[in-house]
Structures are given as C-alpha cells and as structure tokens.
Chains A and B, each alone.
Chain A
Amino acid sequence: MRMSDLMACDVYAADGRCLGRVRDVRLVMDGPVRGSLAALRVDALIVGGSAFAGRLGYLRGGVRGPILLSALMHRLEARAITIEAGDITHWDVDERRLITAARAIQRGDPDR
C-alpha cells in the first residue's frame, strides 16, 4: 500500500455516514529499529476539514500567527477529526474506502 492511496480514501462510520477524506496521516517513530531510525508507525488519520489550513502549517506545523489568520485557519480546521489507526475496522484501499467503528471522535487540532 502507498501513502498516496491512503490519502485518497474516504472514511465512513459504521452506520454508513461519510466522515470525510483522509487529509494527513500521523506517524510515530516508535517501532523496532531499522537501520538508523525506529520504524515509523501509522498512528492516526486526520480526516475531513480544510486541507488548505493544514498545508500552511497552522495546525500540525505549529504556526501561530498572525492572530486573525490563525483564528480563521483554526476555524476552518475545526471540522477535521482524528481517527486512531486501530479504530479503522475495514481497510478497502483499492475501493478508496475505510470504515471506522470509533465512537469517540476527536475534533480539531490533534496536537493541541
């Protein structure tokens, strides 16, 4: 599987409701050491919201100002949700469809 395939997927709740497209993937460097680095594990998917705000670094990139722009970008991203990779029950990447059984969905900036 490729990251680009994963980031082209839509995520659905168990009841069939579409939660949005995968906008980014949170990776954690905590796996077994391979060469010089610990393996990068897929930890969570950032789903929905505005891709624009994320790409400018206003959320996961730690950019905080100017304050008006920051407020606007955080408002845009408020619709984004973070879904733990372990909560994805069905990975149908060929059909670009992931299904989650997550009940508690974390909204907004996952790192704040």
Chain B
Amino acid sequence: MTDGRVLHAGLHVLDRQMRDRHGRLCGKVDDLELERNEETGAMYVTAVLSGPGHLLYRTGRRRIGTWLAKLTSHIERSSLEDPGRIPYDRIKSVGVTVDLAIEANELATFAAERWTRDHIVGHVPGSRHDADE
C-alpha cells in the first residue's frame, strides 16, 4: 500500500452528506464515476454522481435510473454539463461530509422540486408572495 490517505468507497464515501460552498446540505454521494488511465493502467475517481437517477441506477433499477438522470439533465439549468455529475476537481474535502466548491442550486438533487416550483406552483394565483404578507 502507498502513503496516500486510504478510504473505502462503501464505508467512507458512498451515501455521505454533501455540502455546497456555503455549507448548505445539497444531497448525498450516490455513486462514483471511474476512469482508467490508459498509460499507467490505474483507475481513478473522476466524478461524484448524485441525484435520484443515479441512486436508482445504483440500487439496481438501471434503465429507469439512466432515463431519470437524462431527464434531470435535460430540465435542469446549470453551469455543469450534467447537474448530477460533480467533477472531482470541484470537491474541496472528503471527511464526515463531502464539501463541494459549487452552489447547491446547480445540482440535480432538488431538480424535481425546482421544476415543480417554476412550472406548476409558480403559476398558481397567489403563489408569488409569502403566506403572511
């Protein structure tokens, strides 16, 4: 074994709480993307995958999980190419929580809630102000 910090994927990374750049909770680590370096043959983690589609995929519902992840990516406006895929270089630290250098509203975790707010609840008369105004 080498000198680097040792983590076990199932025990220390998967299902860990994620926090955005302001410390706000923004979902869980649902899966990891791996890529093999063709020159060295070593395999590295290249991204954290998060969101209901990736969680479904991990729990064995692969077809509907893939479909839902694509749907989320399609409806969500984000600076990320895929809001369910957080590139490894946007991770600040891995500990009790996984801290990200990214905004919570750019991620897929609450995409369905945001879409419902913008496209359904937002059109209901009276929904544009606080209840106690």
Q: Which residues of A contact B (CB under 8 A)?
A: 1-4, 6-7, 23-31, 34-43, 46, 54-55, 57, 60-61, 85-86, 111
Contact = CB atoms under 8 A, between A and B. Distances in A.
B34 A28 contact: no
Interface in B33-78: 33-36, 41-45, 49, 57-58
Contact of B101 (A36, A41, A55, A111): A36
Interface residues of B, number: 36
B41 A30 contact: no
Contacts of A85: 42-43
Contacts of A4: 31, 57-58
Which interface residue of A7, A31, A40, A55 has the most chain B CB atoms within 10 A? A40
A63 to B, nearest CB: 11
Nearest to A37: B91
A96 to B, nearest CB: 12
Contacts of B4: 28-31, 38, 41
9 contacts: A3-B32, A23-B10, A26-B7, A26-B9, A30-B4, A39-B45, A41-B42, A42-B43, A55-B11
